[in-house]
């Protein structure tokens, strides 16, 4: 009999769907292996507003926000929050998650001209380069800490980590079924590189959080963001476990820039 993935919850005595993930176990393993400082969260799109509003203990904004702030409320405050397009400050946020059309005004990027880009042509090129969820499929979005299990399952998971933690996360992702991972950087509006790309493509998507994410979303200056569907997480954790067994674990202890490297390399690679 094949061994069951320990992160897949049994439906016996549970209100979860058969085969759903054991979210507290997943988050516990990520924290144990990487010592994350920021709460891993999930993001889920909803075709109907009513379905989003039916999530247990959902909060609805009482003010206008950026999507960065909504994500920050989940990852920094531990809240479960749901939004519609009316809750967002403008089209820039709404387009990325498919709640606003890529209309002519948005595509022009005129509000960014002279602020982030030298010319109208540069601003328009930036807008065209952004990954996004197609418009018209969804009415709402929600975010929640993964460990709560309230978005079971989320469409994507958002993992904030330092560069050292993140490279080990990626190493875990590449442990089995290796492939080279390639990403882009649109600059400002980097949410398009993370949750926009992951929602649209279903692929792991790394980003350098932008000025707005750090100013409005509370992202710390040494954090990177990985967005990926939850189906990747058990494999990441399995890879991290194997790497840790080989002595390749977080925190990465400095060996020293002046030491003879052969002793250190020998621990990992033998003679």
Q: Which of 28, 83, 26, 32 is nearest to 60 (CA)?
A: 83
Structure tokens at 64: 């206008």
Q: How many structural domains does the chain have?
A: 1
The H or E element that residue 219 is part of is: none
Which domain range does residue 215 map to?
A: 23-253
* pLDDT value of residue 34: 98
Q: Is residue 214 part of a domain?
A: yes
Q: Is residue 120 part of a domain?
A: yes
Q: Is residue 74 part of a domain?
A: yes
* pLDDT value of residue 13: 31
Cβ-based neighbours of 208, under 8 Å, separated by 6 or more: 185, 190, 193, 224
* pTM across the whole model: 0.92
Q: Is residue 271 part of a domain?
A: no
The series of mean pLDDT values per 10 residues for the chain, 271 residues long, is: 52 42 97 98 98 98 97 98 97 97 97 97 98 98 98 97 98 98 97 98 98 97 98 98 97 93 88 69
């Amino acid at each position: 009999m094949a061994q069951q993935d320990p992160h897949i919850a049994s439906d016996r005595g549970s209100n979860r769907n058969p085969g759903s993930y054991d979210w507290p176990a997943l988050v516990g393993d990520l924290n144990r292996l990487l010592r994350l400082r920021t709460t891993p969260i999930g993001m889920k799109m909803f075709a109907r507003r009513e379905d989003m509003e039916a999530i247990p203990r959902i909060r609805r904004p009482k003010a206008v926000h950026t999507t960065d702030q909504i994500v920050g409320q989940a990852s920094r405050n531990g809240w479960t929050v749901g939004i519609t397009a009316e809750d967002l400050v403008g089209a820039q946020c709404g387009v990325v998650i498919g709640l606003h059309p890529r209309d002519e005004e948005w595509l022009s990027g005129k509000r960014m001209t002279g602020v982030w880009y030298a010319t109208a042509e540069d601003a328009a090129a930036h807008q065209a380069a952004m990954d996004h969820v197609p418009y018209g499929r969804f009415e709402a979005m929600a975010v929640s800490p993964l460990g709560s299990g309230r978005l079971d399952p989320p469409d994507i998971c958002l993992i904030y980590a330092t560069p050292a933690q993140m490279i080990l996360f990626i190493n875990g992702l590449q442990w089995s079924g290796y492939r080279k991972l390639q990403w882009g950087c649109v600059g400002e509006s980097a949410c398009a590189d993370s949750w926009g790309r992951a929602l649209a493509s279903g692929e792991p998507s790394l980003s350098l959080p932008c000025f707005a994410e750090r100013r409005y979303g509370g992202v710390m200056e040494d954090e990177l963001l990985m967005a990926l569907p939850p189906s990747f997480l058990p494999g990441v954790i399995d890879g991290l476990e194997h790497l840790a067994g080989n002595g390749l674990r977080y925190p990465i202890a400095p060996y020293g820039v002046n030491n003879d490297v052969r002793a250190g390399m020998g621990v990992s690679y033998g003679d």
